Each structure stands twice: as structure tokens, then as C-alpha cells.
């Protein structure tokens, strides 16, 4: 009874082992290669797969997801003999599991070495300034070369990025001094531009002020001329009226001119800064009579030109400084 139990247990164990070796479950993102007597025959996709017992087995378990590989740091000599330390990262994805499994041994190491050699080639063909300023160009050239090299392995290189570029210490110090000098130069240029703009603004302001002043003087001159023109017109009309009165034999018109000149001369005498005492003539009866004649003439002119412009008022004689006009005799 014990022998039968042991035999049954052994048979059950063999059945379980055979079942496990025949049925394979492939997880998502993976692929298994199947070998028959050591030779590749097929690839198992994600899901459940069946193998021939004692004949087939799983060869390689391939990761079909995108992978990130580190490119070790290395020292590279540029075209202008500058030593820089460069490292990077590469993003790869297996597209054909059979070729990736059987055409290259240790795929991550092979791609890492390929990236290092091509990185030395690309960086070595460029000058230091180009290496530091054209990372995108380096990434593009590396991607093109390495993707073409890994295509027979069934691997797609999606991206290559330069992670770090470290120039020597003396070059770093020189770059710092250069950057400082460049910033100082820009500051001087900016300050000069500001001073230039301020000078232009001041000049524009002075120009506008001069223009406004000239416009003001022009307007004032125009108004002065207009006032003088109107005054001349009024004087001309007054002269014409007086001339007509003289032509008619009116003595008052003559008295008007005499009185006007008399008053103007007396006013100038009173305004003179050299004159402190003004002597008023005693014979003022003629002047008063003249003024009365002027009044009659003005009244006549008002009657004649009531519908036209108002007559010009004759100048009123000023009271001499330091004296008084005596009453009429």
C-alpha cells in the first residue's frame, strides 16, 4: 500500500512538472523565445503559450518596453585640443526579440560601448565652443549613427541625450571672465543707449518748446499787426472826416489838429525823466476853446456816422505833472 501511494505521488509530481514545462504565461511587455533542441523556432507573445514537452523550452526572456541605459563618463579631446568630460543617457526599445536575443550578446553593454565610441568621434570633430553650445546637434548626430548601427540587432534607439559636459578648470575660469566682460559690455551699451534716448527726448522737448514759442510770437505779432491795422483804419477815417470838415471850411477841424499836437507835445514833456517841474502856460483860453471845438466836431461826426463804425475819440489832454490847468477865463 505504501509503494502504491509513493508511485502515485511520483506520477502526480511528474504530471505537475510536465504541465508547468508545457504551459507558459508571458507577462505584458515581455516576449519569450522558444528553442527546440537549442534552435530558435518561434516567439511567445504576452498571454498563455504551449510548448512541446521534452522537446521545446524557453530560450530568452526579452523586455519589449523602452529602456534607459547610462553612458559612462569619459574624457574626450575636442578639435581645438580641449579636454572635456562627457556622459549621457540613451533610450532604446527592442522591436525584434529574436534578433536582439541571438545576434548580439549582452545587448545593454554593446549599446553602451557603441554610444561611447561614437560620442568620442562626434565631440572630437567639434571645437569646445561648439560642443558647449550645440548639444542638440550632438544628440541628433549620435541618434542617427547609433540607430543605424543597432538596426540589425532589432533595437530602436529613440533618444540620446548629453547629460553633462564638464570642461577643465582653467577653461571654466576663462569662460567666467569672458561672461563677466560680456555682461559689463552689455551694461555699458545699455547705459549709453539710455543716455542717447534721454538726450533725444530733451532735444525733442526743446524743439517743441521752441516751436510753441515761435507760434506764440507769430500769433502775438499777428494780433499786434491786426491791432495796428485797425488803429490805422480808425485814424484814417478820423483824418478823412477832419479833412472833409476842413474842405467845407470848418474851423473846428483845424483846431482839432492843433489841439491834438499841443496835447501830445505837452504829454511828452510831462513824461520826460529829465523834467521835474512843468510850467503850464497862462493862456489856456485858446486851448479850452479848441477843446470845445473838438467836442462840436465829434458830435457832428457821431450824427453823420451813427449807422457806421463809432467815431474815434480825440485824446484827452493829460494833467501836467507838478502843475494844474487854470479855469477858463
Contact 165, 75 (CB under 8 A): no
CA distances, 221 to each of 213, 226, 229 (Å)? 12, 8, 12
pLDDT of residue 316: 44
User: Rounded to whole angstroms, how far apart are CA atoms 32 and 35?
Assistant: 10
Predicted confidence (pLDDT) at residue 164 exceeds the cutoff of 80: yes
SS3 state at 91 = strand
pLDDT of residue 94: 93
Predicted confidence (pLDDT) at residue 252 exceeds the cutoff of 80: no
Residue 284, C-alpha cell as written in the block: 489856456
User: Rounded to whole angstroms, how far apart are CA atoms 72 and 89?
Assistant: 9
Predicted confidence (pLDDT) at residue 157 exceeds the cutoff of 90: yes
* pTM for this predicted structure: 0.52
Mean pLDDT, range 39-57, rounded to an integer: 88
Provide the pLDDT confidence category of residue 282 given band limits of 50, 70 and 90.
very low
Q: Return the minimum-mean-pLDDT range out of 13-27, 86-100, 243-257, 265-279.
A: 265-279
The mean pLDDT of the chain is: 79
User: Rounded to whole angstroms, how far apart are CA atoms 222 and 268?
Assistant: 29
Contact 326, 283 (CB under 8 A): no
User: Rounded to whole angstroms, how far apart are CA atoms 319 and 233?
Assistant: 28
Q: Return the minimum-mean-pLDDT range out of 126-135, 158-167, 266-275.
A: 266-275
pLDDT of residue 6: 79
Predicted confidence (pLDDT) at residue 136 exceeds the cutoff of 60: yes
User: Rounded to whole angstroms, how far apart are CA atoms 311 and 302?
Assistant: 6
pLDDT of residue 294: 54
Mean pLDDT, range 275-302, rounded to an integer: 54
Q: Return the minimum-mean-pLDDT range out of 59-63, 67-71, 156-160, 166-170.
A: 166-170
Provide the pLDDT confidence category of residue 314 given band limits of 50, 70 and 90.
very low
pLDDT of residue 100: 92
User: Rounded to whole angstroms, how far apart are CA atoms 47 and 109?
Assistant: 29
Percent of the chain with pLDDT over 90: 25
pLDDT of residue 266: 65
pLDDT in tens, 188-238: 999 899 989 999 999 999 889 999 988 888 888 888 888 888 888 887 787
Provide the pLDDT confidence category of residue 156 given band limits of 50, 70 and 90.
very high
pLDDT of residue 324: 39
pLDDT in tens, 72-110: 999 888 888 888 899 999 999 999 999 999 999 889 999
Q: Which residues, at least 6 apart from 141, have a Cβ–Cβ distance to it below 8 Å?
A: 122
pLDDT in tens, 25-43: 899 999 999 999 889 999 9
Residue length of the chain: 329
Amino acid at each position: 500500500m505504501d509503494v502504491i501511494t509513493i508511485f502515485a505521488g511520483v506520477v502526480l509530481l511528474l504530471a505537475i512538472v510536465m504541465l508547468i514545462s508545457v504551459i507558459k504565461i508571458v507577462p505584458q511587455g515581455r516576449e519569450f523565445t522558444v528553442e527546440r533542441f537549442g534552435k530558435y523556432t518561434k516567439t511567445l507573445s504576452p498571454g498563455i503559450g504551449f510548448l512541446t514537452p521534452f522537446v521545446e523550452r524557453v530560450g530568452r526572456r526579452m523586455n519589449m518596453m523602452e529602456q534607459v541605459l547610462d553612458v559612462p563618463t569619459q574624457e574626450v579631446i575636442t578639435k581645438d585640443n580641449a579636454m572635456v568630460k562627457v556622459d549621457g543617457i540613451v533610450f532604446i526599445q527592442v522591436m525584434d526579440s529574436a534578433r536582439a536575443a541571438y545576434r548580439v550578446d549582452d545587448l545593454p553593454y554593446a549599446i553602451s560601448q557603441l554610444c561611447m565610441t561614437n560620442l568620442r568621434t562626434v565631440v572630437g570633430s567639434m571645437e569646445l565652443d561648439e560642443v558647449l553650445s550645440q548639444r542638440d546637434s550632438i544628440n541628433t548626430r549620435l541618434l542617427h549613427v547609433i540607430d543605424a548601427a543597432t538596426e540589425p540587432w532589432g533595437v530602436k534607439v529613440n533618444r540620446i541625450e548629453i547629460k553633462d559636459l564638464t570642461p577643465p578648470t582653467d577653461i571654466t575660469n576663462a569662460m567666467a571672465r569672458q561672461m563677466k566682460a560680456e555682461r559689463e559690455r552689455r551694461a555699458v551699451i545699455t547705459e549709453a543707449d539710455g543716455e542717447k534716448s534721454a538726450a533725444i527726448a530733451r532735444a525733442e522737448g526743446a524743439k517743441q518748446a521752441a516751436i510753441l514759442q515761435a507760434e506764440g510770437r507769430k500769433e502775438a505779432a499777428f494780433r499786434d499787426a491786426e491791432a495796428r491795422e485797425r488803429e490805422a483804419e480808425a485814424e484814417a477815417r478820423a483824418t478823412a472826416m477832419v479833412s472833409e470838415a476842413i474842405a467845407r471850411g470848418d474851423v473846428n477841424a483845424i483846431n482839432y489838429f492843433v489841439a491834438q499836437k499841443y496835447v501830445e507835445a505837452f504829454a511828452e514833456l510831462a513824461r520826460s525823466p529829465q523834467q521835474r517841474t512843468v510850467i503850464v502856460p497862462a493862456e489856456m483860453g485858446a486851448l479850452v476853446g479848441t477843446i470845445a471845438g473838438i467836442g462840436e466836431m465829434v458830435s457832428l461826426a457821431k450824427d453823420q456816422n451813427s449807422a457806421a463804425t463809432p467815431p474815434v475819440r480825440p485824446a484827452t489832454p493829460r494833467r501836467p505833472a507838478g502843475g494844474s490847468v487854470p479855469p477858463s477865463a
